[in-house]
Amino acid sequence: MNAQVLYVLLVEDDVDYSSLLRRRLMGSLNQGNGQTFVVAQASLLREAIEYSTLHPIDVIVLDLNLIDTVGLDTLVRIQQAVPGAAIIVLTGRDDQTLASQALRLGAQDYLVKGNFNTEVLVRAIRYAIDRKQSEQALSEVAKQLHQVKHAKTPDAISDDLAHDFDSLLAKMAVQNSMALSELGDDNPARVHVEKLNQTIHLVSALTRRLFGRLSSTNVS
DSSP symbols for 62-95: E-S-BTTB-THHHHHHHHHH-TTSEEEEEES---
Is the Cα torsion angle 122, 59, 128, 106 positive or negative in sign? positive
Quote the pLDDT of residue 215.
46
pLDDT by position in tens, the chain (length 220): 456 789 999 999 999 999 999 999 998 888 766 778 999 999 999 999 999 999 999 999 999 999 999 999 999 999 999 998 999 999 999 999 999 999 999 998 999 998 878 888 988 898 888 877 777 777 776 676 666 666 544 555 555 666 666 677 777 777 767 766 766 666 766 777 777 777 777 777 776 666 665 444 443 3
